[in-house]
Structure 1
Amino acid sequence: MSSYIIPAQTRIGHVHLKVSDLDRALAFYCDLLGFSLITTYGKEAAFISAGGYHHHIGLNTWYSKDAPPAPVRAAGLFHTAILYPTRRDLAVALQRLIEAKYPITGASDHGVSEALYLNDPDRNGVELYWDRPMDQWPRKPDGSIDMYTHSLDLEDLLSEI
């Protein structure tokens, strides 16, 4: 292996998910989470985004129409992480989930970020999170990041609204 290091400006551009019911997936990602529908490919695929980007999430039924969710104990995507710009934005997302009575599977403070965990209707894992400013990230004595998993205080998060 070479000592090549990927450029620091590199970003994950989008995720493309197999879903069993496109309308149900769009209801979750657009109606509940607030993404905008950018375009569809017939009745089999849709592309959604935040802020008008060509797509952050692709949804398709090409190989999965009416299929059951993938087994939890199988190789594959663990979760899609959706980064919110501020803590208040994450709080608004939490409030929307609560109002919709949508189940949350976890809520964690990782030191570098605060995160909510849930599953989309096809049981694809979804993380909703915001990053603390880098100068607030916990560090080990050697300067490396000291991430952890503590319970997230949801009442404190909701106080941002």
Structure 2
Amino acid sequence: MSELPFAATTPVSVSRVGLKARDAEGLAAYYRAVVGLQELSRADGVITLGAANRPLLVLEPDAAAKPDDPRSAGLFHTAFLLPSRADLGRWINHAAANRIAIEGASDHLVSEALYMTDPEGNGIEIYADRSPQDWKWDGDKIAMATERLNLPAVVASVLAGDAGWQGAPENTIVGHVHLRVGRPEDAEAYWHDEFGFDTVAKYGGQAVFLSSGGYHHHIGANAWRSAGAGRRDPARSGLAWVEMRSDNVAGETSSEDPWGTVIRTIRGKA
């Protein structure tokens, strides 16, 4: 069994993501087939998906919701972190065999990642981290980039005779959440003040990456398409809430970021 990824062992980490879904059944089928999540429970139409009994994604049905607006504040992508590079190789083979549409494949130096969009416009990243010992730091800032992913090398990490992709493996987690925001500097202030996050990278005034405990990022926030965006329209589908796990709270808490996105916090181990 793979170890729990480093991203989940820090003082604060991502626990779950909630999406408001126009077609919760359709989205659930997509995440089962494409990401390999399992349905863990359902109640009053709300569907919880995860990996090996770890809840990762909650779909809240709202058939009357307006489609998400990619120029507004909201979700850029939910990033599902697989425990090993071989797991990522297995998923790539699964994507190829099932003709899953991939929109991007990148080497970020700290990680290797593939990108897609679900049927309701929610971004998805499937990735595996390189060993934290191999990450390059310049003081308190980490070196990240967007280079072409060497797909054959990742696939080659899967040994001959391997059983192949069997769905999201145990210890798959939501490694990070990347948000669309109106002003990255306001997001930076919120995550500093509410969670004590460190700023580990910036891309001019367009994007900021923040983390707890020396991870490369638990939260990304960009204004690439959403510059100047105000509060989210609660009548739209897309991101409903993000749940963080923290060692620093006594119980469950909730707050809103500057764009009205609900950020929940729970205490407990990953």
Contact 1:68 1:122 in 2 (8 A): no
Matched, 1:95 2:97: no
Note closer, same or farther for the CA distance 1:135–1:103 as it changes in structure 2 (3 Å cut).
same
Deviations 1:34-61 (A, max 9, x none): 111111113x2100111212x2110121
**2:196 aligns to what?**
none
The alignment covers a number of residue pairs equal to 150
CA distance in structure 2 between the aligned counterparts of 1:149 and 1:106, rounded to whole angstroms = 10
CA distance in structure 2 between the aligned counterparts of 1:113 and 1:40, rounded to whole angstroms = 33
CA distance in structure 2 between the aligned counterparts of 1:79 and 1:154, rounded to whole angstroms = 21
Matched, 1:37 2:34: no
**2:147 aligns to what?**
150
Matched, 1:17 2:58: no
Q: What letter is aligned with 1:148?
A: A
3-state SS of paired residue (1:12): strand
3-state SS of paired residue (1:15): strand
3-state SS of paired residue (2:13): coil
Contact 1:21 1:66 in 2 (8 A): no
Q: What letter is aligned with 2:78?
A: T
Q: Which runs of 5+ in 2 are unaligned?
A: 1-8, 159-270
Q: Which runs of 4+ in 1 moved over 6 A?
A: none
CA RMSD of aligned residues (A): 1.9
> Identity, % of aligned pairs?
33
Contact 2:30 2:118 in 1 (8 A): yes
Q: Which runs of 5+ in 1 are unaligned?
A: 1-6
Higher relative contact order (CA 8 A, sep 6+): 2
More strand by share: 2
Structural mapping, 1:69-80, within 5 Å: 69-80=67-78
